[in-house]
Amino acid sequence: MSQTVIIVGASRGIGASLAREYAARGATLGLLARSTGALETLALELRQNHGVRVEIAALDVADREAVAPVMNSLMDRLGTVDVVIANAGVLGWRKAGDGNVAEDRRIIETNLLGAIGVIDVAVARFKAQKHGQVVGISSISAYRGIPGSGAYSASKAALTNYLEALRLELSGKGIGVTIVHPGFVKTDIGPNMEKYPFAAEPEKVAREIANGVARGKASLIVPGFPWRLIMPALKLLPDSVMKKIF
């Protein structure tokens, strides 16, 4: 039976790759992002290539007043929704002490509070229909902060913690929670991502995410190789080694 999947932050990167992966699996899709132009182009591609239904809506998750009405309107159009993927996020580089705390606020507003806003609407809908799966895209930086990207790392660590608490809160209610921790992915979220260690293609990451979500996994590290081997050691690395890596 075909699923209905909503992807927030679907216009590029992991989100767009997830849309293509789910379309190839025959899913009905609801796609949201700030750029409707990019969404329209992607939706046309998916309809033509896979014959699936695709609905789109413009949403900036940092606009707190817009999240619930836009999400609810899209879900009303789609009917029963099986999976909501909170993927919208921004990356930022800043060294503490330069006075630009506004940049940190922007990152946290989008990556943490924006994601929580999306998830809250999804959970309300899932409670009403008595089933569903929330998927939150966190990061390996939730395990160990990346120098020069403190706000990003903090936003992802907080999102992971929030989702862990949510999973316990929803236990026994028919609602699953999957936390995804991608390693470095070759997308345009940040400059020169391909130069980072073990940078992966977004298509591979999307495929592993979709497989893990289908299995109802509570937590995913993607791509599994080599990051499942590396992650336990991240917290043990000396600061001097972390500085050289990043």
Active site residues: 152
Gap between the Cα atoms of 67 and 50, Å rounded: 29
Q: Are 96 and 143 in contact (CB under 8 A)?
A: no
Strand order in the sheet with 83-86: 54-58, 28-33, 4-8, 83-86, 132-137, 175-182, 219-222
9: left (phi over 0), alpha (psi -120 to 50) or beta: left
State the burial class of residue 71 (Cβ atoms within 10 Å of its Cβ: 0-12, 13-18, 19+): buried
SS3 160: helix
Gap between the Cα atoms of 92 and 152, Å rounded: 7
Q: Are 4 and 78 in contact (CB under 8 A)?
A: yes
Q: Are 69 and 117 in contact (CB under 8 A)?
A: no
Q: Which of 235, 219, 236, 24 is nearest to 135 (CA)?
A: 219
